[in-house]
Amino acid sequence: NFFILGWFFFVRRSNIPNYWEWFYYISFYRYTFEGFFVNEFEGTTFGCDRRESGECDCFVPDLNNNCKIEGEEILIEYGYEDVNKWGWFGVVIAFALLFHFIFYVLLRVFNTGER
């Protein structure tokens, strides 16, 4: 499947080779994943446990050392702080309309009407 090549949402853009970077921008998986990611982490707070030594035991580096992680810190860590979730939703809808249009054109061109 050609579109599986566009699963670059698992890889940070800075780690994608230059010759594949164009595919990062046309991958509809990217817009879906990043929009979902921002929707889930924006405006949230996660508490962390304290170890016996008094250090915080967080799943990502605690930037403020106050034993809680803000969702915005996670977005910054992954490089999604500038993602507009509604803009990305619009891009996903545009991809869906584009695919429907392409499929319609292909059906009109290649359909013989015979069974």
Chain mean position to CA 49 = 28
Among positive and negative, which fits the CA dihedral 11, 12, 18, 19? positive
User: Domain-by-domain residue ranges, the chain?
Assistant: 2-110
Cβ pair 6, 27 in contact under 8 A: yes
What whole-number distance in Å separates Cα of residue 60 and Cα of residue 25?
27
What predicted TM-score, i.e. pTM, was given to this entire model? 0.71
Cβ pair 6, 26 in contact under 8 A: yes
Nearest to 30 by CA among 79, 76, 77, 73: 79
pLDDT value of residue 85: 92
pLDDT value of residue 7: 60
Reported as a single tens digit per residue, the pLDDT across 48-77 is: 877 788 777 776 665 566 778 888 888 888
Determine the average pLDDT of the residues in 76-90. Answer: 89
More confident position, 114 or 63: 114
